[in-house]
Amino acid sequence: MAGTGRASGGVEAAPASQQGMRRQNLAVVMGAVAAHGPLSRADVAGQTGLTRPAVSSLVDELIARRALTEAETAPSGRVGRPGRALALNDRGPAGLGLEIGVAHLAACVVDLRGAPRVWRRVEQANAGRPAGQVLAEAAALGAEAESEAAVLGLWVAGRVMAVPGVVPDGPGGLVANAPNLGWQTVRPADHWPDPDAVPEPENEANLGALAEQRQQGRPAETFVHVSAEAGIGAALVLGGRLFRGARGFAGELGHLPVHPEGPPCPCGARGCLEQYAGEAAVLREAGLAGAGDPVALLTRRARAGDAATLRALDRAGRALGLALASAVNLIDPDALVLGGAYAELADWLLPPVRAELAARVTVRPWPPEAVRPSALGRRGPVLGAAWSTVHRIISDPAQLPAF
């Protein structure tokens, strides 16, 4: 479909653009197999509008770059030779996702089909420790995950790292500010032991939203993805595209005021959402100390019917609903997604969130199911990090080396 225009002269065929056109057509074939595979070569021609000889040449190159495999298939009830089916290679290029959390490190490798093949998660306190030390540990965890992936026949073609901080647009991979880690102006490349394996940092809320988008298979949805670890992160996906703001600072939902005279926030303002629905605030309100996994602790207490915990979660849900009502009135999204720790606490957060939205979103229809928990929960950011490399390869397979 998308290939028709490109193949039949949609691109000006000046000699200099021949290479660019082939590059685009490689992506068209790759995209067709990713969306509809397994496909025969003839199916690919039918799907893309490219000629059979063109498809064959492009497919051969994609196989040489280990992006596609072509397997013998049994004839499906028809008389004749067995067919050959093209599929994304699940023993070839892969994406490594890393995550630096306030209280954990994680790594994950996904193959080109998007399947997670290697998982690593280590609970450890990272807040306030030297960034170089934390990054060296993340690098070691990533190297371990890459070795395990190699045993499965995978090789890592790209690395992205989720961080709970602001990652402004621009080259060089800078984490401008990650207040809950205590980082200011940290460049992972300055600390990474292997200069050839430096990951690209990205805000964890943004990656969680991209993971959600892929999981749902609704590429054009407009939604707000809100998640919490130590802080509250939100990502805006408008018409399927991540909206980063003028300088990459969009989505600071945690500092939306929910009570103008409320308690002071480390950001300098008062009554921010984080003071009601942030992890520390919920634990404080529930009378719990933050030892161990705070989300597991809250879940356990809430299931047991502990009144203070239920009250704290209700207060958090109301504050969250209040902030999200402003987001809905401002941008008119299809959906609101509770991700990260909020997804795991959704049983208790959703009712007050929905009640606030019902009371405050009145200028447009707002069905209660338009706010939903993410199925990925706290795995979202690291999966999003790994999937972003896979997405990049499928969009431009020519970036892969030929073997």
Q: Which residues in this chain contact Zn ion in the complex, by CB under 5 A?
A: 255, 265, 267, 269, 272
CB of 259 vs Zn ion, minimal distance in Å = 12
CB of 250 or CB of 393, closer to Zn ion? 250
Count of CB atoms within 10 A of residue 23's CB?
Answer: 15
CB of 264 or CB of 401, closer to Zn ion? 264
CB of 159 or CB of 255, closer to Zn ion? 255
CB of 138 or CB of 322, closer to Zn ion? 322
CB of 270 vs Zn ion, minimal distance in Å = 8
CB of 331 vs Zn ion, minimal distance in Å = 21
CB of 205 vs Zn ion, minimal distance in Å = 16
CB of 272 or CB of 394, closer to Zn ion? 272
CB of 183 vs Zn ion, minimal distance in Å = 18
CB of 127 vs Zn ion, minimal distance in Å = 18
* Chain centroid offset of residue 387 CA: 7
C-alpha to C-alpha distances, 335 to 86, 221, 342, nearest whole angstrom: 35, 8, 15
| Sheet (strand 93-100) strand order | 116-123, 104-111, 93-100, 155-163, 200-203
CB of 209 or CB of 265, closer to Zn ion? 265
CB of 188 or CB of 254, closer to Zn ion? 254
C-alpha to C-alpha distances, 314 to 263, 283, 322, nearest whole angstrom: 18, 13, 12
CB of 242 vs Zn ion, minimal distance in Å = 23
CB of 324 vs Zn ion, minimal distance in Å = 16
CB of 66 vs Zn ion, minimal distance in Å = 48
Dihedral class, residue 228 (left if φ above 0, else alpha if ψ from -120 to 50, else beta): beta
CB of 271 vs Zn ion, minimal distance in Å = 8
CB of 156 or CB of 265, closer to Zn ion? 265
CB of 268 or CB of 365, closer to Zn ion? 268
CB of 265 or CB of 371, closer to Zn ion? 265
